[in-house]
Amino acid sequence: MKGRVLVAGFATRHIAQSACRAGYTVYAVDHFCDRDLAWYTEDRLSFDELADLPAKIAELAARHPIDALVVASGAEAVGTTIPLCGTPPAKVERFLDKLEIQRFFEGLDVPVPPLAGRDRYPAMVKPRRGAGGWRNAVAWAEEDLRRWEEAWPDVPYVAQQLVDGIPSSVSCIADGRRALAVAVNRQILRGEGECAHGFAGSVTPFSHPLAGEMVACAERIAAASGCTGSVGIDFMAGEKPWAIEINPRFQATLDTVEMATGENVFALHMDACRGVLPATRPPARRVAVRRILFAERDMRLDADLSALAPRVADIPWPGTEFEEGQAVVSIFGCAETEAAAFHDLERNIAAVRGLIGG
């Protein structure tokens, strides 16, 4: 084995799976501890609140010798004595604040939606901290903004002028000075309800006339950020590639990037932390799509979905209870063309629904 890594964060299955395939012994601290996380890890601990993360990391590290810590969403700023492979907390902190990201983009002179004044509508309202986009909302008028403030009274936010476009991202690998894009992705959002702008899946590659511009812009952003390892840049592909956010960690698009390119992103991340970047951008060999299935009602899942792997991931333990709107399982499609990949996805969704009974 190449070493012993501890992966920590809100959801780590995708990273643990990639690390295991890269030849590492993997341990994890994870909020969900889904069934398939156990397939890729030697030991794991769950946590309820993000404040519990440091203690859980210390507990797992006391059980096992750990060579390196790799962080996922929610753990980016955790400080421990375990050697970190990724962007240090002191550097990453700036990119956990969307207002600071705005200023960073403006300083680089890359296209970014301008901040909206109090009387400028429509506006995209986003909490300054947090990932996944599930609290993002469009305020069409003053009363919409007031409702958002009432729903989240203690949450600092930013409001940007609304821009049209297709939600997308570029997955980069960076060594703190240089960066190389490894994939362009289209993001799938939930599209309705209170979490309409929440992440619900991805398509890799994203073939778009602006893809080349997004790659060039993302590489410049990632290199200038000083971040190390896996770095993602979110865009809105509209009249121009609007830079939206920088994610200084592994992204939720990891699965489709690996399926489409055949590359191991964890191995690329670890190489980058040692100062080694790929010589060339990996080509997309296939089209991969991931879709998160959400609970349509309060439910208890008694079915065992593990037999459907690798067509599904983030597999709940039988007997898990879900509230309406919670993520249940990730489902994949993969083929030579995007149309065929979505056809494969629909077939796999039908298989899951057949077991769930809905």
Q: Which domains does the chain have, with CATH numbers?
A: 4-85 (3.40.50.20), 99-161 (3.30.1490.20), 164-273 (3.30.470.20), 287-356 (3.90.1170.30)
- Alpha carbon dihedral 82, 85, 91, 94, in 10-degree steps, equals -100
Strands (E), 264-322: 287-294, 299-301, 312-313, 320-322
> What average pLDDT score do residues 315-320 get?
97
Q: Whose structure tokens read 């990201």?
A: 101
Question: Where does residue 172 fall: left (phi above 0), alpha (psi -120 to 50 degrees), or beta otherwise?
Answer: beta
β-pairing verdict for 43-46 and 327-335: unpaired
43-46/68-71 β-pairing: unpaired
In single-letter form, the type of residue at position 52 comes to D
* d(C-alpha 64, C-alpha 310), whole Å: 29
Tens-digit pLDDT profile for residues 249-298: 999 999 999 999 999 999 999 999 999 999 999 999 999 999 999 999 99
Question: How many Å apart are CA 142 and CA 123, to the nearest integer?
Answer: 10
* Residue pLDDT, tens place only, 56-66: 999 999 999 99
Q: What is the pLDDT of residues 23-47, one digit of tens each?
A: 999 999 999 999 999 999 999 999 9
* Residue 292 backbone dihedrals phi, psi, to 5 degrees: -90, 130
Q: What is the pLDDT of residues 173-202, one digit of tens each?
A: 999 999 999 999 999 999 877 788 889 999
pLDDT for the residue numbered 358: 57
Q: Does the model's pTM come out above 0.85?
A: yes
Q: What is the DSSP letter of 358?
A: -
Alpha carbons 247 and 139: distance in angstroms, whole number: 24
